[in-house]
Amino acid sequence: NAGVTQTPKFRVLKTGQSMTLLCAQDMNHEYMYWYRQDPGMGLRLIHYSVGEGTTAKGEVPDGYNVSRLKKQNFLLGLESAAPSQTSVYFCASSSGQGWEQYFGPGTRLTVT
């Protein structure tokens, strides 16, 4: 099992550009999450999904959109990137039966 994978690993964007981050899990998990991690701060929840076709806002959703068209994939989109979105983005999944979340390796995004 690959677990949780994320693509790309690194990306540099100019202000105003758009991009999509892809998260995939092969554990048949129902719940998936997108976090951002900034220096000196814990992980902050952007959006999450409790099943295929569902999405919901987390703590810091502004400037991001998500889609969960397939159970194994959770996409995070930035329509118009801003320097404040420079961060490391982590995807996680959970079976929904317990609380443990499994994390991907992260995507380092820089917006100039």
Partner 1 sequence: GESVGLHLPTLSVQEGDNSIINCAYSNSASDYFIWYKQESGKGPQFIIDIRSNMDKRQGQRVTVLLNKTVKHLSLQIAATQPGDSAVYFCAVSTPGSARQLTFGSGTQLTVLP
Provide the binding-site residues for partner 1, judged by CB under 8 A. 4, 31, 33, 40-45, 48, 50, 56, 58, 90, 92, 94, 96, 98-106
* 17 vs 43 by CB, closer to partner 1: 43
DSSP string computed for 25-68: ESS--SEEEEEEE-TTS-EEEEEEESSTT--EE-SS-TT-EEE-
Count of Cβ atoms closer than 10 Å to residue 4 Cβ: 22
Shorter beta-carbon distance to partner 1: residue 17 or 95 = 95
CB of 79 to partner 1, least distance (A): 25
